[in-house]
Amino acid sequence: MTVAQPQRDPATPLWWGTIVLRWVTLGFALGALLVHLDGYRRPDLALAAFGMMLAWTVVTSVTFGRQRLRRPWLVVADVLVTCGVMLTSPFVLSTEQYEQVAPLVTTVWAAVPPLTAGARFGAAGGVLVGLVTAVSTGVARLDVDLDVARDGVLLTASGLLIGITATTARRSQAALAQALRTEAATAERERLARSIHDSVLQVLARVRRRGGELGGEAAELARLAGEQEIALRALVTTGTAGSSGGAADLRAALQLLATSRVQVSGPAGEVRLPTEHVAELVAVAREALSNVDKHAGPEAKAWVLLEDLGSEVVLSVRDDGPGIAEGRLAEAQAEGRLGVASSIRGRVRHLGGTCVLETGPDAGTEWEIRVPRPERGRDRR
């Protein structure tokens, strides 16, 4: 990431708006100047004032068009120049013109500074400069009447609105940037979890198995490696299933259950489901596997298979243990000892799915769980 590059100010379109407005109002001021030139007390001063307005319009167009030149002091100078030009009006306009309520030298061109101040400093700055411009208008008019009051309200209100808009734009950009950072961090975390799983965990698993085969001191090392394998696996599993937009990849989440005795298979691509479904199905697989550990013995192997049929997903967990003898299942259930099985059934029912447990003496046990894919998740495939 490059450090020197500041983010684009989200209020930039507002700045460009003020530049366009300045040129439009300058045209308006030129028209007013030409209409009233003959009646002015000091036409030369009027032309000089217009020259200043033209010059300042060029200067602000160049500076405010560039983000790094939108300096606070330039915005303050903008207010001073505008009010200064406006305050030449009593010397330019004749008494008759004041009586006819002819426009001030600056006309509507003076309405721009509250907008730039709002864009730069937010609502407070916009209101303050609106008030300053309003007071300046009153002084230049040599009178405070309804027109001046109305101008004051409009100037202040426009500064306020632009200020609120600029602040809102900056806040939403900051919020968006924060959300993107969080998402990137989550993705990075998932990537790390996968890579740890594929490298370190595999090596630890190999050390554990090979050391166990060798015995003696190597067996002790194998035991230590095994402990770290379990700890690391738990570390990378927590929190990785949660993902963006309320959906997560069940395939990747299940993969983290793989050990040297548990093989996980599934499609090569992602299987996206709502986060809740992913969490529940991973819990189901975990419980079925814990059952394998408890009942099938330490030598038993287990396989987890995930299939994506579009309208439903199928999760199978099978082990090659001794299985459950006929009648034992019902017996265990009657005694209330089939905690895990009923917990799995409960979770699956909650997801609107079905599950079948197949077992028999020397046939291992096999769970087949079918869960319908919710409509929303289906679009994401």
Partner 1 sequence: MTVSVMIVDDHPIWRDGVARDLGEHGFEVAATAADGDAAVRIARAVRPAVVLMDLNLGSSSGVAAIREITTQLPDTRVLVLSASGEHDDVLEAVKAGASGYLVKSASVRELVAAVRRTAGGDPVFTAGLAGMVLGEYRRMADAPSDQQAPRLTERETDVLRLVAKGLTARQIADRLVISHRTVENHVQSTLRKLQLHNRVELARYAIEHGLDQEQEGRG
Establish if 266 lies at the interface with partner 1 (CB under 8 A): yes
Establish if 265 lies at the interface with partner 1 (CB under 8 A): yes
Number of Cα atoms under 13 Å in the Cβ half of residue 283: 16
E strand segments, the chain: 247-249, 262-265, 272-274, 302-308, 312-319, 354-359, 365-372
Could you say which of 209, 293, 322, 354 contacts partner 1 (CB under 8 A)? 209
- Between CA 276 and CA 241 the distance in angstroms is 9
Smallest separation, CB 342 to partner 1 (Å): 23
**Shorter beta-carbon distance to partner 1: residue 2 or 311:** 311
**Joined tokens for residue 242:** 């949660």
Establish if 308 lies at the interface with partner 1 (CB under 8 A): yes
Smallest separation, CB 300 to partner 1 (Å): 11
Phi-psi region of 374 (alpha: psi -120 to 50; beta: other; left: phi over 0): beta
Establish if 301 lies at the interface with partner 1 (CB under 8 A): yes
Could you say which of 30, 59, 221, 305 contacts partner 1 (CB under 8 A)? 305
Long-range contacts from 23-29, C-beta under 8 angstroms, 24+ separation: 23/57, 23/61, 25/107, 25/108, 25/109, 25/111, 25/112, 26/53, 26/54, 26/57, 26/109, 28/107, 28/108, 28/109, 29/53, 29/105, 29/106, 29/107, 29/108, 29/109
Total residues contacting partner 1 by CB under 8 A comes to: 33
Segment near partner 1 (CB under 8 A), from 6-14, 94-102, 239-247, 301-309?
A: 301-309
Could you say which of 267, 346, 352, 361 contacts partner 1 (CB under 8 A)? 267
Establish if 194 lies at the interface with partner 1 (CB under 8 A): yes
Could you say which of 18, 255, 275, 365 contacts partner 1 (CB under 8 A)? 255
- Between CA 6 and CA 66 the distance in angstroms is 12
Could you say which of 78, 190, 280, 366 contacts partner 1 (CB under 8 A)? 366
Helices (H) and strands (E) in the chain, counts: 15, 7
Establish if 202 lies at the interface with partner 1 (CB under 8 A): yes
Through-space distance between the first and last CA atoms of the chain, rounded to whole angstroms? 32
Edge-to-edge strands, sheet with 354-359: 262-265, 302-308, 312-319, 365-372, 354-359
Establish if 303 lies at the interface with partner 1 (CB under 8 A): yes
Map residues 47-86 to x or -, x wherever contact with partner 1 holds by CB under 8 A: ----------------------------------------
Give residues 91-110 in contact with partner 1 (rule: CB under 8 A): none
> Does residue 272 contact residue 247 with C-beta atoms inside 8 Å?
yes
Could you say which of 269, 339, 346, 361 contacts partner 1 (CB under 8 A)? 269
> Does residue 14 contact residue 67 with C-beta atoms inside 8 Å?
no
Could you say which of 70, 120, 318, 345 contacts partner 1 (CB under 8 A)? 318
Smallest separation, CB 194 to partner 1 (Å): 5
Say which DSSP state 356 is in.
E
Which residues form the interface with partner 1 (CB under 8 A)? 194-195, 197-199, 202, 205-206, 209, 251, 255, 258, 260, 263-269, 301-303, 305-310, 316, 318, 320, 366
